[in-house]
Amino acid sequence: MKLTLKIWRQATTDATGAMHTYQLDGVSEDMSFLEMLDVLNEQLNASDEEPIAFDSDCREGICGMCGLMINGQAHGPEVTTTCQLHMRSFKDGDEITIEPWRADAFPVLKDLCVDRSALDRMIQSGGYISANTGSAPDAHAAPVEKKKADRAFDVATCIGCGACVAACPNGSASLFLGAKITHLGELPQGQPERWDRVIGMVSQHDHDGFGGCTNIGECASACPKEIPLDVISQLNKDLRTAMVKGR
Amino acid sequence: MAVSGLLFIAFTLVHMYGNLKAFSGQEKFNDYAHHLREFGEPILPYEGFLWITRVGLLVALVAHVTSAVILARRASRARTTKYQYKKNKHSALSSRTMRWGGAALLLFIIWHLVNFSFGKVNPQTGETGAAAGDPYTLMVDTFDVWWMTVIYLVAMLALGFHLHHGTWSATQTLGYTNTATSRQRAKQAGWLLAIVIAGGFSLVPLSVMFGIIE
Amino acid sequence: MAMHDGTQALNQASNQLSDDAHGYYTRGENIIDAKAPVGPIKDRWTNRKFENRLVNPANRRKLDVIIVGTGLAGGAAAATMGEAGYNVKSFCYQDSPRRAHSIAAQGGINAAKNYKEDGDSTFRLFYDTVKGGDYRSRESNVYRLAEVSANIIDQCVAQGVPFAREYGGLLDNRSFGGVQVSRTFYARGQTGQQLLLGAYQAMERQVGAGTVQEFTRHEMLEVIVVDDRARGIIARNMVTGEIETHLADVVVLATGGYGNVFFLSTNAMGSNVTAAWRAHRKGAYMANPCYTQIHPTCIPVSGEHQSKLTLMSESLRNDGRIWVPKNREDCEKDPRDIPEEDRDYYLERIYPSFGNLVPRDIASRQAKNMCDEGRGVGPLVGDFRRGVYLDFADAIARMGKKAVETKYGNLFDMYARITGEDPYESPMRIYPAVHYVMGGLWVDYDLQSNIPGLFVTGEANFSDHGANRLGASALMQGLADGYFVLPNTIRDYLADGPFEKVSEDHPAVVEARTSVEERITRFLSINGTRSADSYHKELGHIMWEYCGMERSEDGLRKAIDLIRELKADFWSNLKVLGTADSLNQSLEKAGRVVDFIELGELMCIDALNRRESCGGHFRAESQTEDGEALRHDDEFAYVAAWEWGGDSLDGGQPVLHKEDLIYTAIEMKQRSYK
Ligand SMILES: Cc1cc2nc3c(=O)[nH]c(=O)nc-3n(C[C@H](O)[C@H](O)[C@H](O)COP(=O)(O)OP(=O)(O)OC[C@H]3O[C@@H](n4cnc5c(N)ncnc54)[C@H](O)[C@@H]3O)c2cc1C
Ligand code: HEM
Ligand code: SF4
Ligand code: FES
C-alpha cells in the first residue's frame, strides 16, 4: 500500500519543530508500524535526508521504550504498543500523522524521541519496597491471598511507556502512579512503607509538572496493558488515608 | 473539589425538591420559602439556617472554583506544546467539558442569585426587590419569558453534564471506586443524578412555559 | 585421578586431534588457574565467601564502582552495591534502566526450593544444569548458581515481585524445559519483567538515597585500562553526543547477550556486543563465542522488512503437533486441505519416544532441515519458505477449545496480533530463532575477566551454561550474579582500594578517548552508499546460514571469507548522515554493526575449531551413524578463550587459550533422545 506520512521533526529540545510530509510506497500489511518507519528511514538515508529518530527496543510490547502519537491516539488505533501495531490496521492511501508524546514533563529530545526520566524519579521517591539484599525471610514466610496477588500482578504489568500521560488532556501521570501504588499496596511486604510511599510519589509527580487528574479516563483507554482506572481510585484512597495519618 | 462538589449535589437535590413544590400551588410554595427562613427556630435566629447554608455554599463555591482554577492551570502548564492532531478514544464529552461547563454554571449561578435571591429581578415587570412579587409570582413571571426559560434550560443541560461526570469523578477522587463494579455503579449514579437533578429543575420552567403552572 | 584437594577428577584434560581452524588463529598458553576454590563442591562457595577479604564500611564510600547494564545482572548489582555503601555509577543505553532486555523473558526462573517435595535439591539443579549444558561449563560455578538460587526467590518476594500463587497463598511452581521436577517460579508470561522491575526499584531506591548515580541513554564505547587494571569507561551521551570519561576503582560489565549478531533474533533492537567487544579488543578473552541457543517456537519471518523475531513460550509444544507437508507441491495449500496421510509429523516420526518434546536444539535443527528440503510453509522469503506448522486441531478436539484457550489464550492472541491469522482456525506457523548466547567474556570463578578490575556478569559472561542453557536458568544466573555472587567476590578486589586516582589526561585515558572520537569521525566521513542496517542484515544472513544450528567446515570457511569482504566494504561504503554532537541513531547503529561483524568472524573461527556437535549446535562432520549429535569430550572438553590478535584486515589472528574442564562431582555422559 501507499501512504502519506505527516511526521513531527525537531532537531533538538530547544529547536522549533514542524510537521513534514513524506510519501511511502510498497508498505506490506505484515509490517509492524515501526518496520514501516524503518523502511522510510532507509529511503531517507538513500536520498541524503537524515533518518527520523524514534525510540524502540524490545519490539514485542514489553519494554515500554516505543511510543508514538499516531493519528491523534497514543500507540495508535489498537489497544497495544506502537511496536505491536501492524500495518494491517491501515489501508492503502491513508494519511497518518505521527507526533511525539507531548507533555512538559517529557521534553522532546529529537523528532519523535522524548525524555521520560520523570517516571523514574517517581519510582525513586517511594516506588519500591526496602528490602536489602540478603535480608529476606523465606519466600513462604508470608502467604498472600490469591486475589490480592493477582490484582498486584495485573497492575504490575505497567510498562512505563507514558502513553497515559500522552493521552491525558490534563497531562497527568496518575495511571502510572496508581498502578505502582496498587501493586505494592496489595502485598503484605508493601505495608510498612505504604503511606510514606504515596506521599513521596505524589509530591514528586506534582513537582515534575504533571497535571492533576480529573478522572476523564483517556489514560486507561490508551494504556496498552489495560491498567484499569480503579488504580487511580486506590491512589486517592491511599493518599487520603496517608494524609489522615498525618504523613 | 470532590467534597465541595458533593455538597453542591446535596444542596441541588434539596433545592430541586423545593422547586417541585411549585406544582402544589402558590400558597404551598410560598409557605415553603417562608418556612426555610424559620427553620431551626428558636435555636437559630430568623433566616439563621438559610445563612448557614449560604455561608457553607459560598465557602464551597470558593473552594470549588479555586481548585478548578488550580487544576486548569496545572493542566495547561503540563502541556504547553499542543498536539497538532488529537483524538479522544473513549472518554465522555461531559468529562472534557467540566471547565467550560463549570464556568457557564458560575455565570448562571450569579444571574440566578440576582434573579431570585439578592436582586429579585422580575424580567417581565422590570421591578426589583420586594416589588418583584412573592417568590411564586417572581418564578412564574420569569419563566413566562421564553428566553429566560431557554437560559435556565441551557444551564440545566450544563448542570446535567457537570453532574454526569462530577458524580463519578468525586467518588473516584475520594477513592471509593476500587473495583470494576463500584466504578460501574458510580457511573450509573452519575447518570441518575444528572437526569434527576437537571430534569427535576427543568420541570418547573418547562411547566410554566407550557402553561401547566401559572 | 586424585586432585590435590583430595577430590577425585572424573575425566582427563582434553587432547585436541583435529585442527580445522588451522591458519585462522594462533595458540596461546592454557589457562591453568580459573581461581575456582578447592575442596568438596558443596563447601566451595562458603569457603570462598569466607576467604574473600572484607571492605570496611567507612571505606566503601570512597570506592567508585562503574556498572554498565541495568538488566537483572547489572540492576541487581547496582542495588546491592549501593545498599552496601559503595559509590556506584550505572549505565544503560535505553532511556530508563527498567527497559533492559531482561524485561522480555517470559517463562520463569529456576530455584532449588523443593517447595513441591518432588525430590529437587541443590545438587539436582546443579546436575541438570551441567548435563543440559552438555558438560561444557565449569562445575564450581554451576554448583554455586544452584546454591544461591533459593535466596533469589526470597529476595524477590521481599521486594514485592508478584509471583504466581496458589489458592492457599503460597508460591506456585511449574516444570519447565524438559526437567522432571517443578522448580520454576513464574509471574504469568512476564517473569522477566517482574523480576527486572524488582531489581530496578531496588536500584532506584538507591538512586534516591544518593549511592547510585544513573546514566541513561549512555553507550559505553571503550574500557580504560591503566597499568593493567580496568579503571573506567568512555561513554557517549546519546542525546548530546558528548564523549564522557568516567573513572572508577572497578568496572563491571553486565551488558547482556550478542544474539543480534544474527540480525534477526529475539533480542532487543539495541542489544549489542559493543561493550564486551571493546573490552575484548583491550585484552579481555572472549570465551566460546560460537555457543548460541536457538529457540524452536518463534513466529516466522514475514518478509524482508522484518526487524526482529518474537518468541512464543515453549510450552506450546506440550499440546501442539509439529508437521510439514510430505510433498513440496502442498506447501502453498491451505493446511486444512492437506489430508492426514500427506502430512509429515517429523518429530514424532524421528523421535518416537520424545516426539514434539525433544530438546530445543533438536526441534530447531529439524525444522530448518525440513525447510531446506523445500517442505517449509508460509510466505517465500528469498528462495525458501521458512516455517513449519504447529497444529492445535487435535488438542482442540481432545480438550475442547475452552481448555486450549485457558492454557494458551495469551500466546494465541499474540500470534494473531502479529500475523493476522487465527490459530484456533488454522495451524500456527513457527520457525526457530536465535534467542540466547552461552558464549561471552571469559571470567574466573570470581566473575573477574583476565583484565584485573574488569568483572563481567549475566549473559555477557560465559560462565554457567556450557554449550546449552536450560530454560529458566538465565534469569537465575543474572540475579545470582547481581545480588549474591558479584558483591561477595568484588570485595576481595576492592579491599586493596581505593586505588591511586587516575587523572583525565593520563595517556591511557586520552588514548581511549581519542580512539572513540576517531572512530566516530571515521563513520561520519566515509560517505558511501549503504546504511549500517543493510550491513547488519547481510551479516545476519551469513551467520544464520553458516554459523547457525548446523555448521560445516566448508560453510564456516566460506562465511569467514564473506564476513571479511563485508567488513572491508563497510569501511569503504558506509553512509551515516547527521552529526556526532546530537542524537544520531544511525551513528549508534554503525558502531554496533562493525563490532558485530568482527565478532561474527571470531564466532566462525571458534565454530570451525570446535569439530564436535555439542549443546545447541550440530557440526556436520561430527554425527553418529543415524545422524545424531556426537560430542568429543576427549578432544573438546575445554573452554575456548580467545584473545584479540589484531584486525584480520591487517593480518591479525585471534589467539586461543584453553581452559580444561575437569569434573569431580559429576560424570560426563552422551545424551540420547531417540
Ligand atoms: C525473548 C526472551 C525470553 C527469555 N526468556 C527467558 C526465561 O523464560 N527464563 C530465563 O531464565 N531466561 C530467559 N531469557 C534469557 C534472559 O532473559 C537473559 O539472558 C537475561 O535476562 C540477560 O540479563 P542481563 O542482565 O545479562 O542482560 P540484559 O537484561 O540484556 O541487560 C543488558 C544491559 O546492558 C546495557 N547495555 C548493553 N550494551 C551497552 C553499552 N554498550 N553501553 C551501555 N549499556 C549497555 C543495556 O542498556 C541493558 O541495561 C529470555 C531471553 C529473551 C530474549
Ligand atoms: C460555580 C460554578 C462551578 C464551576 C466553575 C465548576 C467547575 C468544576 C471543575 C473545573 C471541576 C473539575 C473537573 C473534574 O473534577 O472533573 C468540577 C468538578 C465537580 N463539580 Fe463543579 N463547578 C461548578 C459548580 C458545580 C455545581 C453547582 C455542582 C453540583 C451540583 C458541582 C459539582 C461538581 C462535582 C461533584 C465535581 C467532581 C469533583 C471531583 O472529582 O473531585 N459543581 N467543577
Ligand atoms: S499505566 Fe499503561 S499507559 Fe501508563 S505507563 Fe503504564 S503501561 Fe503505559
Ligand atoms: S519497543 Fe518495547 S514495548 Fe515497544
Looking up residue C345, the CATH number of its domain turns out to be: 3.90.700.10
Q: Provide the grid cell at B50.
A: 438559610
Q: Which CATH superfamily is domain A3-110 in?
A: Beta-grasp domain (3.10.20.30)
Partner residue opposite C578 with nearest CB, options A50, A159, A189? A50
Do residues C73 and C171 touch, judged by C-beta distance below 8 A? Answer: no
Q: What is the pLDDT of residues C186-225, one digit of tens each?
A: 998 899 999 999 999 999 999 999 999 999 999 999 999 9
**What gap in Å lies between CA C430 and CA C1, rounded to an integer?**
48
Residues 364-403 of C with CB under 8 A from A: none
Among all bound ligands, the one having the nearest atom to the CA of B63 is 2
Name the region of C455 (left: φ>0; alpha: ψ -120 to 50; beta: rest): beta
Residues 496-525 of C with CB under 8 A from A: none
Residues 277-306 of C with CB under 8 A from A: 302-303, 305-306
Average pLDDT over residues B49-68: 93
**What gap in Å lies between CA A72 and CA A82, rounded to an integer?**
13
**What gap in Å lies between CA C628 and CA C362, rounded to an integer?**
9
- Domain residues for the domain of C359 are 295-435
- What's the C503 CA to ligand 1 centre distance in angstroms? 33
According to DSSP, the β-strands at C550-551 and C618-619 are parallel
The ligand 3 atom nearest the CA atom of A64: 8
In the prediction, which pLDDT does C4 show?
Answer: 57
In the prediction, which pLDDT does C192 show?
Answer: 96
**What gap in Å lies between CA B37 and CA B35, rounded to an integer?**
5
Do residues B124 and B141 touch, judged by C-beta distance below 8 A? Answer: yes
The ranges of chain A annotated as CATH 3.10.20.30 are: 3-110
Among all bound ligands, the one having the nearest atom to the CA of A160 is 3
In a domain, C256, yes or no: no
In the prediction, which pLDDT does B123 show?
Answer: 85
Ligand 4 lined by A61 (C-beta under 6 Å): yes
Kindly state whether residues C525 and C400 are assigned to the same domain.
no
pLDDT of residue B72 exceeding 80: yes
Q: Omega of the bond prior to B42 within 30 degrees of 0, cis?
A: yes
Q: Count each helix (H run) and each strand (E run) in chain A, helices first.
A: 8, 7
In the prediction, which pLDDT does A245 show?
Answer: 87
Q: Provide the grid cell at B32.
A: 415553603
Residues 143-172 of C with CB under 8 A from A: 151, 153-160, 162-171
- Domain residues for the domain of B181 are 2-80+93-209
Q: Which residues contact C268 (CB under 8 A, 6 or more apart)?
A: A57, A58, A59, A63, C101, C104, C308
The ligand 1 atom nearest the CA atom of C457: 26
Ligand 4 lined by A58 (C-beta under 6 Å): yes
The ranges of chain A annotated as CATH 1.10.1060.10 are: 117-130+145-244
Number of folded domains that form chain C? 2
Question: What is the rounded average pLDDT for all residues in chain A?
Answer: 97
Phi first, then psi: what are they for C255, rounded to 5°?
A: -95, 10
Residues of C tagged active-site: 360
Helix axes C274-281, C585-609, angle to 10 degrees: 60
Strand order in the sheet with C655-660: C26-27, C655-660, C638-643, C286-287, C440-441
- Which residue in chain B is spatially nearest to A7 when comparing CA positions? B84
The single-letter DSSP state of residue C132 is H
Q: Provide the grid cell at C55.
A: 571492605
Name the region of C293 (left: φ>0; alpha: ψ -120 to 50; beta: rest): beta
**Which of C60, C201, C418 is the best substitution to test chain A (most A C-beta atoms within 10 A)?**
C201
In a domain, C546, yes or no: yes
pLDDT of residue C7 exceeding 80: no
pLDDT of residue A89 exceeding 90: yes
Q: Provide the grid cell at C36.
A: 575456582
C-alpha dist (Å) from residue A171 to A55, A102, A212, A216, A234: 21, 8, 8, 11, 19
C384: how many CB neighbours lie within 10 A of its CB? 14
| Contacts by A135-138, CB closer than 8 A, 24 or more apart | A135/C158, A136/C151, A136/C154, A136/C155, A136/C157, A136/C158, A137/C154, A137/C158, A138/C154
Average pLDDT over residues C568-585: 97
Q: Which of C359, C660, C599 is nearest to C460 (CA)?
A: C599
**Contact (CB<8Å) C113/A48:** no
Kindly state whether residues C549 and C633 are assigned to the same domain.
yes
**Contact (CB<8Å) A237/B178:** yes
**What gap in Å lies between CA A44 and CA C606, rounded to an integer?**
38
**Contact (CB<8Å) C158/A189:** yes
Average pLDDT over residues C145-157: 97
Amino acid at A29: E
Do residues C460 and C256 touch, judged by C-beta distance below 8 A? Answer: yes
Q: Which of B87, C94, C104 is nearest to A113 (CA)?
A: C94
Maximum C-alpha span of chain A: 63
Contacting chains of A (3 CB pairs or more, <8 Å) are: B, C
> At C588, is the pLDDT very low, low, confident or very high (cuts 50, 70, 90)?
very high
Residue in this structure with the C-alpha cell 519471518, named with its chain if needed:
C301
- What's the A216 CA to ligand 2 centre distance in angstroms? 13
Q: Does A59 touch chain B (CB under 8 A)?
A: no
Amino acid at A82: T
**What gap in Å lies between CA C504 and CA C94, rounded to an integer?**
26
Q: Does C7 touch chain A (CB under 8 A)?
A: no
In the prediction, which pLDDT does C2 show?
Answer: 58
> At B133, is the pLDDT very low, low, confident or very high (cuts 50, 70, 90)?
confident
**What gap in Å lies between CA C590 and CA C567, rounded to an integer?**
12
Q: Does A touch B (3+ CB pairs < 8 Å)?
A: yes
How distant is the Cα of B104 from the closest Cα of chain A, in angstroms?
18
> At A83, is the pLDDT very low, low, confident or very high (cuts 50, 70, 90)?
very high
**Which of A202, A236, A238, A243 is the best substitution to test chain B (most B C-beta atoms within 10 A)?**
A236
The single-letter DSSP state of residue C481 is I
Do residues A45 and C586 touch, judged by C-beta distance below 8 A? Answer: yes
pLDDT of residue A246 exceeding 80: no
Residues of B in contact with A240 (CB under 8 A): 174-175
| Contacts by C511-518, CB closer than 8 A, 24 or more apart | C512/C222, C512/C223, C512/C224, C512/C225, C512/C234, C512/C245, C513/C222, C513/C234, C513/C243, C513/C245, C515/C222, C516/C221, C516/C222, C516/C234, C516/C236, C516/C243, C517/C243
The CATH number linked to C511 is 1.20.58.100
Partner residue opposite A229 with nearest CB, options B96, B174, B183? B183
The CATH number linked to B184 is 1.20.1300.10
Do residues C443 and C289 touch, judged by C-beta distance below 8 A? Answer: no
- What's the C471 CA to ligand 1 centre distance in angstroms? 14
The angle subtended at Cα C189 by Cα C187 and Cα C191, nearest 5°, is 45
How distant is the Cα of B47 from the closest Cα of chain A, in angstroms?
35
**What gap in Å lies between CA A33 and CA A3, rounded to an integer?**
12
Q: If you count them, how many residues does chain C have?
A: 674
Ligand 1 lined by C312 (C-beta under 6 Å): no
**What gap in Å lies between CA C536 and CA C547, rounded to an integer?**
15
Residue C503, helix vs strand vs coil: coil
Q: Omega of the bond prior to C498 within 30 degrees of 0, cis?
A: yes
In the prediction, which pLDDT does C5 show?
Answer: 63
pLDDT of residue A247 exceeding 80: no
In a domain, C97, yes or no: no
- What's the A127 CA to ligand 2 centre distance in angstroms? 31
**What gap in Å lies between CA C403 and CA C387, rounded to an integer?**
26
Ligand 1 atom 6 nearest Cα: C105
Distance of CA B183 to the CA centre of its chain: 24
In a domain, B87, yes or no: no
**What gap in Å lies between CA C638 and CA C640, rounded to an integer?**
6
Residues of B in contact with A216 (CB under 8 A): 91-92, 95-96
Among all bound ligands, the one having the nearest atom to the CA of C129 is 1
Please tell me the number of Cα atoms within 13 Å of A172 on its side-chain side.
25
Average pLDDT over residues C10-27: 95
The radius of gyration computed from the CA coordinates of chain C, to the nearest angstrom, equals 24
Q: Provide the grid cell at B149.
A: 426559560
**What gap in Å lies between CA C490 and CA C447, rounded to an integer?**
8
Q: What is the pLDDT of residues C100-117, one digit of tens each?
A: 999 999 889 999 999 999
Strand partners, B139: none
B3: how many CB neighbours lie within 10 A of its CB? 14
ipTM of model over 0.85: yes
Residues of A in contact with C534 (CB under 8 A): 42
Is domain A117-130+145-244 classified as CATH 3.40.50.150? Answer: no
**Contact (CB<8Å) A217/B77:** no
**What gap in Å lies between CA A37 and CA A24, rounded to an integer?**
9
Percent of chain B with pLDDT over 90: 56
Residue C508, helix vs strand vs coil: helix
Phi first, then psi: what are they for C440, rounded to 5°?
A: 170, -170
Q: What is the pLDDT of residues A9-62, one digit of tens each?
A: 999 999 999 999 999 999 999 999 999 999 999 999 999 999 999 999 999 999
> At A214, is the pLDDT very low, low, confident or very high (cuts 50, 70, 90)?
very high
In a domain, C387, yes or no: yes
Strand partners, C658: C640
In the prediction, which pLDDT does B125 show?
Answer: 82
Number of folded domains that form chain B? 1
Q: Which of A181, A191, A188 is nearest to A236 (CA)?
A: A181
The H or E element spanning position B111 is helix B98-116
Question: What is the rounded average pLDDT for all residues in chain C?
Answer: 94
Q: Does C touch B (3+ CB pairs < 8 Å)?
A: no
In the prediction, which pLDDT does C107 show?
Answer: 85
Average pLDDT over residues C492-516: 97
Please tell me the number of Cα atoms within 13 Å of C674 on its side-chain side.
8
**Which of C391, C412, C435 corresponds to the end of one domain?**
C435
C596: how many CB neighbours lie within 10 A of its CB? 26
| DSSP per-residue letters across B27-49 | HHHHHHHHHHHHTTTTTSPTTHH
Q: Which of C430, C432, C433 is nearest to C324 (CA)?
A: C430
Do residues A247 and A197 touch, judged by C-beta distance below 8 A? Answer: no
**Which of C81, C96, C255 is the best substitution to test chain A (most A C-beta atoms within 10 A)?**
C96
In the prediction, which pLDDT does C26 show?
Answer: 97
Q: Does C416 touch chain A (CB under 8 A)?
A: no
In the prediction, which pLDDT does C209 show?
Answer: 97
Average pLDDT over residues B159-179: 94
pLDDT of residue B87 exceeding 80: yes
